[in-house]
């Protein structure tokens, strides 16, 4: 359940920050009359995200009757969720410093167009987070089918994110967002590695990939699946005591390089070269003039 709580917290805080930037810009610009359009766009985005999540669940449980088809569907959604998670954390790392300015610029353009443009701007700013949350949650909660715990954890994470966003907006709370997104991004990479491992297992269950019974190791005697800590590891990062070889390879091949790329220090742009001083310019001009004079007088000396 911690994994789904983390998903709700991370995605919810991103969406909350986006909304708070839009609201703060309208308030400071004395355009409170456009706030209802912003909330309408946000509400529509939330409703469509919930509908998307329900549609995924309905497709898996009701439309796909064959066991192999359900496993294949879950495998495909797991891979899609991993792609979304990876893109999201690297995008946020790169765009965190400029996102506020970009949103203000787009909202300024939307205000010039009209109320529908403002609502559409808020809708587009939130819908991406909502669709990602629905897809990632579905993939992360597969191991707890029939249990309401993951859904409650997701809702708890979103509620926590909203509370943090409101406190940040009211300047009652100061947190280092850069460190927050770095630590949660690293944890989400491990969650994504577990989702990918689960997706590989589903591909094997569906008969697309071989090696379902080729175990990389079996530590069931040490990591008893019935214990609370084994359930915690399985729920957070899909760490199981008897994974297949392909599952283990997928986990390592994804987690190690992506973590290294994400945690490496950002490259600093080289400082611009200092402009030439007036003394240097005059000296160079004098040298050039002297060389030209010498070249001009050379034929005469000859």
Structure confidence at residue 260 (pLDDT):
94
For residue 43, what are its two tokens? 């509400």
Structure confidence at residue 289 (pLDDT):
42
CA distances from 270 to 37, 260, 274 (A): 43, 23, 12
| Most confident region among 76-90, 103-117, 158-172 by mean pLDDT | 76-90
Q: Phi and psi dihedrals of 244, rounded to 5?
A: -80, 170
**0.85 surpassed by pTM:** no
Percent of the chain with pLDDT over 70: 83
What does the DSSP 8-state code read for residue 60? I
Q: How many other C-beta atoms can be found within 10 angstroms of the C-beta atom of residue 29? A: 13
Instruction: Mention every residue, 6+ apart, whose C-beta is less than 8 A from residue 202.
Output: 71, 72, 74, 75, 78
What does the DSSP 8-state code read for residue 172? S
* Whether 75 contacts 202, CB under 8 Å: yes
Q: CA-to-CA distance for 20 and 37, rounded, in angstroms?
A: 14
* Whether 56 contacts 84, CB under 8 Å: no
CA distances from 51 to 47, 127, 207, 253, 254 (A): 6, 12, 30, 34, 30
The per-residue pLDDT for range 130-162, each reduced to its tens digit, is 888 888 888 777 655 456 677 788 888 888 888
- Which residue, 165, 156, 163, is CA-closest to 16? 165
Q: CA-to-CA distance for 200 and 209, rounded, in angstroms?
A: 8
Q: How many other C-beta atoms can be found within 10 angstroms of the C-beta atom of residue 93? A: 15
Q: How many other C-beta atoms can be found within 10 angstroms of the C-beta atom of residue 216? A: 15
Give, for 278, the enclosing helix (H) or strand (E): helix 278-301
The per-residue pLDDT for range 47-61, each reduced to its tens digit, is 999 999 899 888 887
Reported as a pLDDT band with limits 50, 70 and 90, residue 76 is very high
| Most confident region among 3-12, 59-68, 152-161, 164-173 by mean pLDDT | 152-161
């Amino acid at each position: 359940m911690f994994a789904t709580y983390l998903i709700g917290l991370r995605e919810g805080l991103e969406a909350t920050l986006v909304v708070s930037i839009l609201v703060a810009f309208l308030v400071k610009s004395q355009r409170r009359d456009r706030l209802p359009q912003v909330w309408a766009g946000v509400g529509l985005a939330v409703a469509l995200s919930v509908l998307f999540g329900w549609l995924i669940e309905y497709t898996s449980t009701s439309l796909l009757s064959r066991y192999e088809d359900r496993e294949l569907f879950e495998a495909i959604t797991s891979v899609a969720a991993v792609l979304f998670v990876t893109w999201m954390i690297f995008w946020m790392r790169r765009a965190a410093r400029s996102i506020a300015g970009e949103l203000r610029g787009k909202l300024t353009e939307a205000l010039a167009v009209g109320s529908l443009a403002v609502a559409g701007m808020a809708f587009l700013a939130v819908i991406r987070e909502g669709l990602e949350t629905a897809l990632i949650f579905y993939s992360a909660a597969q191991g707890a089918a029939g249990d309401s715990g993951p859904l409650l954890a997701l809702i708890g994470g979103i509620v926590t994110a909203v509370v943090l966003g409101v406190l940040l907006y009211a300047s009652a709370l100061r947190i280092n967002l850069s460190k927050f997104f770095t630590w949660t991004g690293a944890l989400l990479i491990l969650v994504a590695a577990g989702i990918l491992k689960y997706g590989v297992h589903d591909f094997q269950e569906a008969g697309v990939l071989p090696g379902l019974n080729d175990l990389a190791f079996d530590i069931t005697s040490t990591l008893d699946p019935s214990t609370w800590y084994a359930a915690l590891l399985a729920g957070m990062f899909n760490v199981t005591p008897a994974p297949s070889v392909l599952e283990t390879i997928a986990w390592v091949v994804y987690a190690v390089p992506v973590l290294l790329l994400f945690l490496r220090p950002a490259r600093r742009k080289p400082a611009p070269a200092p402009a030439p001083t007036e003394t240097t310019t005059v000296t160079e001009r004098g040298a050039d003039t002297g060389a030209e004079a010498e070249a001009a007088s050379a034929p005469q000396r000859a």
